[in-house]
Amino acid sequence: MLHALSDDVVYAAQSGKAEAFSEIYAALAPGITGYLKVRGLEDHEGAVQEVFLALFSRIGSVRGGFQGLRTLAYSIAHARYVDDVRRRARHPQLTPYDPDADRRAVESAETALLETLGESDVGRQLKELKPDQQEVLLLRVVADLSLEQVAEIMGRSTGSIKQLQRRALLKLKSVVERKEALL
């Protein structure tokens, strides 16, 4: 359940009250953390700190009350995620050899069945979707943002976001029902 705050908290934070900052952090930090963790950031906790530092520094420019504050917070989080993707693209991650992670080996039937049973994990289901569809579902479900807010964050029109959302839900539904049929 999302914790929504009144607009007065935002105004109090804009006037410099420390208690208002604490309430905003307590209300938005879990959602921001989950969003960044599901997106696969390595140091998602450090990214959360950066997001709130940027948010509190620009608290004076927030318009629209608490919903405007949430939109700005997830916009910053989305920008951090994009920066992380670009950074990883520029610097390939070097990891030591792990025999268990070697996909060239053929898995046993028991292992494949166990993994199929464990496909209820959110990350595994999201991997079946396209990146844009993943982003729309996360912002709509996890962050509980409206279509307009998601369109503003992703820099697209509301209609395209609505189409992406519909395709994402249909794809997710097919994935879930296919897994259920396999079971």
Partner 1 sequence: MKPHEISDDDAVRRLLDEAEVAPSDRLTSSLLAFRAAGQDIPAPEPSHELMAFMTPPVDAPAVAPVVPLRRRRNVRGALMVTAALAGTGLGVTGVAAANPDFRSAADQAVQNVVGFFAPADGQAEAPDQTQPGVPAGDPVPPSLDQPHNSGSDSGTDTGSDKDTPADTDSAPASADPAAPGKSLAPGQQTETPGGGNRSGNGERNAEHPPAMPFRDGLPAVPPLDGTLPGPSDPDRPQDKSGKGLPLPESTLPSDDPARIPELPVVPEPQR
Q: Which residues would be at the binding site for partner 1 (CB under 8 A)? A: 1-6, 17-19, 21-22, 25-26, 29-31, 33-35, 37-38, 45, 48-49, 52-53, 56, 120, 122, 125, 137-138, 140-144, 147, 162, 165-166, 169-170, 172-173, 176-177, 180
**Closest by alpha carbon to 129, among 174, 78, 180?**
174
Q: Whole-number minimum distance, CB 143 to partner 1, in Å?
A: 7
Q: Whole-number minimum distance, CB 134 to partner 1, in Å?
A: 10
* Sign of the CA dihedral running 124, 129, 130, 131: negative
Q: Would you say 4 or 86 has its CB closer to partner 1?
A: 4
Q: Would you say 34 or 79 has its CB closer to partner 1?
A: 34
Place of tokens 């208690």: 19
Q: Are 12 and 19 in contact (CB under 8 A)?
A: yes
Q: How many CB atoms within 10 Å of residue 37?
A: 16
